[in-house]
Amino acid sequence: MEEVKIIDLEDGSYIISDEIILNNTKYIYLTKENDMMDFCIRKIVMENGEEFIDALDTEEEFDRAMQVFLQKHKQDLENFN
């Protein structure tokens, strides 16, 4: 067994698959608990010293975050056999 972090969005529970900091912003990569191909990205924003999860501003921001994720995990896929 391994311990994972989970957050609840309005449409269900998501596993935090990864966290990546890009341009001083922390992005969290979320995978739906019961469907590994259902995923989304959120970012963490600070307000009054508290952390909030927020949607991304643009599709370009999503694409950038995905590219960084793919670059980071390229080897995972290469090694999967």
Give the footprint of another protein on this chain (CB under 8 A). 1-7, 9-11, 15-18, 29, 31, 36-42, 44-45, 50-59, 61-63, 66-67, 69-71, 73-74, 76-81
Q: With H, G, I as helix, E, B as strand and everything else as coil, classify residue 11.
A: coil
Q: How far is the CB of 46 from another protein (least distance, A)?
A: 10
Q: How far is the CB of 34 from another protein (least distance, A)?
A: 10
Minimum CB distance to another protein smaller for 5 or for 21: 5
Residue pair 30/16 in contact by the 8 Å Cβ criterion:
yes
Tell me the residue type at 65: A
Which of 5, 35, 36, 3 has the alpha carbon at shortest distance from 18?
A: 5
